[in-house]
Structure 1
Amino acid sequence: MDHFDYRDGALHAEDVPLAEIAAAVGTPCYVYSCATLERHFRVMDEALAGMPHVVCFAVKALSNVAVLRFLARLGAGMDVVSEGELRRALAAGVPGAKIVFAGVGKTGAEMAAALQAGVGQFNVESEPELERLSEVAVSMGAQAPVAVRVNPDVDAKTHAKISTGKAEDKFGVPISRAPEVYARAAALPGIRVVGVDVHIGSQLTALEPFEQAFSRVAALVGALREAGHDIARIDVGGGLGVPYVRSNEAPPLPFDYGAVVRRTVGGLGAEIVVEPGRLIAANAGVLLASVIYRKRGEARDFLILDAAMNDLIRPAMYDAHHDIVAVREPEAGAAILPADIVGPVCESGDAFAKARPMPPLAAGELVAIRSAGAYGAVMSSEYNTRPLVPEVLVSKDRFDVVRRRPTYAEMIERERIPDWLG
């Protein structure tokens, strides 16, 4: 469920017509709904009711500081994977103790920044990282709370580029070697073992891989406790998929996911950490765009938008499906014809949809690319020297620009010409 719907023939974000936002801000722009963000956060939080737990939003999905502040006020912690994301979470008012620092390639400088911020947990992914973290913590006179990320060798049955839990993936340490890694962690100065971490991928549409992974983690927790480790926290990661509206994916409900967590690791007396990103953000956002031209092709028409692959790269990178709808509701009986919906970037891959049934749209009319709240703005670029698009946050009948569009002058002024070029 989201809060983007038609009222009186016009698509709204909560109580605000999207056409009003387009007129005030220009297109393309991202529009996020606070009501949808809140609903999705609460659904996940309620799915884990009865177990000690914390929901840490995966900042990599949507990192706008205003969005992070909104989620933090609901009680969310944050899952970060870089010093930049850490600084965003702190700027949003998230206490360090509710921040989990993940990622396979943390630098010494990032570790120091996280220790200075008092993060609640480092998810360590290799022995060299563990050794480096120990060195940094000792140099600062600090203790680093650590959960080792284990790779359970479970096929998440998702897109190859977002699968993270198979033996050939770069993430975590093999679960078979976890006991020796934990033994080393316990012996290192500046390291305090607090838990176990696992994350097997993103956009999972079945519960079986979770069940397999969490069951293996439960067995590992028992073995680690027998070896004398105080495992007080089990981080089950994120990855539960979302419905991309008219796609064929039908992910399980958060309630059913919570039941898997409950029966596998919920009885171990540990705090459960869950790190959803897409689940909370995807259907809370749309990319609002205008038609530049309707172009007649040999086999079908092309709708050329002012949004492009640099603004939303998921279709080009993952062949991802996004529902695309007219902001002006089509009249009953309006002709629906197939059209390729593309952007203006000079790449054949700059396409959002192929042969998509669409009503007749003319230049200047608006479309909304739905389910774009996760991995949309965060993965955007200035390719073709196209400015990063604004982000707009809606709450009931109010909207505010929470990231403005830079000017071309600002983009160019970031660069300099060496003196020797005259």
Structure 2
Amino acid sequence: MNIDFKELANKYQTPYYVYDFDHITAQYTELKESFRARKSLIAYAVKANSNLSVIKHLATLGAGADCVSIGEVKRALKVGIPSYKIIFSGVGKSDDEIREALKLDILLINVESAEELNRVELIAKELNKIARISIRVNPNIDPKTHPYISTGLHENKFGVDIDTAKRMYIQCKNSEFLEPTGIHCHIGSQLTQLQPIKDAIKIVADLVRNLKAIKIELSFMDVGGGLGIVYKDETLINTYEYAQSILDTMFGLDLTVICEPGRFIVGNSGVFVTKVLYEKVNGNKRFVIVDGAMNDLIRPALYNAYHRIEVLNDNKEFSDCNIVGPVCESGDFFAKNIELPKTTHNDLVAIYSAGAYGFTMASNYNTRGRVAEIAVENGIDRLIRRRETFEDLIALEEEFIK
């Protein structure tokens, strides 16, 4: 990543997010090429980074969109992803969201429960429309990832078991307003082992074969996303081996493969850059206080997640410290007990692997405006979201002051 963080800080102030669009292109292309022997759709998981310019960039590369709210569906449509490349997933869709998704005629609604299927059927009947359905199967496979981002076990809230899925597909077949079109499986995020993915897809492929035997013909198999990235020292899944293991498992099935990567595409494209305000020592504990905070990047506070951190100075005097922000919470930290050089006021700190689940999970806690987002492509930077002002923060409230 050849980006001048100091120049961007001078131009756009801190804190800020910067995304390397060339890296995004490379990641998308690598995954798409891995499936080149088969009909495939790479449906970018919008939740990972929902900036319109990021989604539009992927749209120009041919990506679809995996969305978990009607707002994300509208984002995808707004920047040119066609409706026939959009999937609507998520465990808790409201009636209004289902209604709007049907009106927008998107490719698939991924259904996560028998109760949800009933709601979709009822709303489709009300609209006199046919709802194209994919059912999310929970294969009860341990993904070997962080428990907060595991989704493929029965103890997780996502999807249905095999027997329930069969009954739901039969309901779809017998319904005037439901069309069984696809099948979906996603066991978790930040996956670094191939075997759990292979085990899950085999279970789903066997179900597809059983459905075919009773004349339920599907067109799409959504194998989920979740491919991991390097945050520290992870050994990653080879994308070609990943694709081949899926295609081998699907032998004999004429299905279009849908893959829904998010973190894999954008995670290592992004860096969160903040600056040092000052240092302090409490007893024998050193704190580096920066102008970014947990409301900007919550992963360390939420998951105790690791991000590689670099202080952009030439000081060779290292010692143990905590990097903390201004938010009034003890959980407001980016790293604890980390060896970093001595810093001075206005030194820049780069927090890497922040392109996924960074800005998209940001908040205005403590009445802090969300930071600027910047794209760099072919060595040229541009602003893709301006920094929020105080006026932005109160705009939806001030007219109601009595």
Whether the TM-score (by the shorter chain) exceeds 0.5 is yes
Q: Distance in 2 between matches of 1:138 and 1:146?
A: 14
Secondary structure at 1:100 match in 2: strand
Contact map agreement 2:114 2:164 (CA 8 A) in 1: no
Using the alignment, how far apart are the partners of 2:70 and 2:363 within structure 1? 19
* 1:265 aligns with one of 250, 253, 256: 250
* RMSD after superposition: 1.5
Residue 338 of structure 2: aligned partner: 356
Per the alignment, do residues 337 and 45 of structure 1 end up closer, same or farther by CA in structure 2, a change over 3 Å counting?
Answer: same
Question: Is 1:390–1:403's contact at 8 Å kept on the other side of the alignment?
Answer: yes
CA distance in 2 between counterparts of 1:220 and 1:134 reads 22
- Measured after TM superposition, the shift of residue 359 of structure 1 is 2.1
Query: Could you give the per-residue CA deviations for residues 189-231 of structure 1, whole angstroms, max 9, x where no partner exists?
Result: 2211111110111111111110110110111011010011011
What TM-score does the superposition give when structure 1 sets the normalisation length? 0.92
Change (3 A) 1:207 1:303: same
2:212 maps to 1:225: yes
- For structure 1, which runs of at least 5 residues remain unmatched after alignment? 5-11
CA distance, structure 2, for counterparts of residue 383 and residue 185 of structure 1:
44
* Residues in 2 aligned to 1:147 and 1:159: alpha-carbon distance in whole angstroms: 26
CA–CA distance in structure 2, aligned partners of residues 179 and 128 of structure 1: 14
Report the AA paired with residue 17 of structure 2: Y
Query: What is the identity percentage for the equivalent residue pairs of Structure 1 and Structure 2?
Result: 41
- Map of 2:83 onto structure 1: 96
In the alignment, does 2:262 pair up with 1:294?
A: no
What amino acid is the match of 2:345?
A: A
SS of the aligned residue for 2:124 comes to: helix
Match of 1:387 in 2: 369
Confirm or deny that 1:50 pairs with 2:40: no
Name the aligned partner's letter for residue 259 of structure 1.
Answer: Q
Q: Distance in 2 between matches of 1:266 and 1:284?
A: 34
Aligned to 2:54: 67
SS of equivalent to 1:374:
coil
Aligned with residue 236 of structure 1, among 211, 216, 223: 223
CA contact (8 A) 1:300 1:355 kept: no
Aligned residue number for residue 36 of structure 1: 23
**Structure 1 CA distance, aligned partners of 2:375 and 2:330?**
32
Please give the per-residue CA displacement for 1:4-49, whole angstroms capped at 9, x wherever unaligned. Answer: 2xxxxxxx42xxx111111111111110111010011111111212
In the superposition, the TM-score normalised over structure 2's length comes to: 0.97
| Residues 226-235 or 184-193, more deviating | 184-193
Matched, 1:342 2:324: yes
User: How far, CA to CA, are the matches of 1:418 and 1:201 in structure 2?
Assistant: 43
Secondary structure, aligned partner of 1:252:
coil
Asked if the contact 1:51–1:266 (Cα under 8 Å) also holds between the matched residues in 2, the reply is: no
2:234 aligned to 243, 249, 266, which one?
249
After superposing the two structures, state which structure 1 stretch, 234-243 or 176-185, moved more: 176-185
2:268 aligns to what?
283
Residue 114 (1) aligns with residue 96 (2): no
User: Partners in 1 of 2:44 and 2:400 — Cα distance?
Assistant: 43
Q: Which residue of the partner structure matches residue 307 of structure 1?
A: 292
Q: Could you tell me how far apart the structure 1 residues matched to 2:113 and 2:49 are?
A: 27
Query: Runs in 1 of length 4+ with deviation above 6 angstroms?
Result: none
Mapped partners of 2:15, 2:251: distance in 1: 44
Deviations 1:233-265 (A, max 9, x none): 100011111110xx2422212222112212212
Question: Displacement of 1:67 after TM fit?
Answer: 0.5
**How far is the alpha carbon of 1:418 from its aligned partner?**
5.3
Aligned counterparts, 1:82-231, within 5 A:
82-231=69-218
8 Å contact kept, 1:32–1:285: yes
Q: Tell me the alpha carbon deviations over residues 375-396 of structure 1, each in whole angstroms, 9 at most, x when there is no partner.
A: 0011000001100111111112
Q: Mean Cα displacement is larger for which, 319-328 or 377-386?
A: 319-328
Whether the 8 Å CA contact 1:266–1:272 is kept in 2: the answer is: no
Deviates more, 1:219-228 or 1:168-177: 168-177
Question: How many positions carry a matched residue from both structures?
Answer: 402
User: 5 Å matches for 1:320-331?
Assistant: 320-328=305-313, 330=314
What is the CA–CA distance in structure 2 between the aligned matches of 1:239 and 1:266, rounded to whole Å? 22
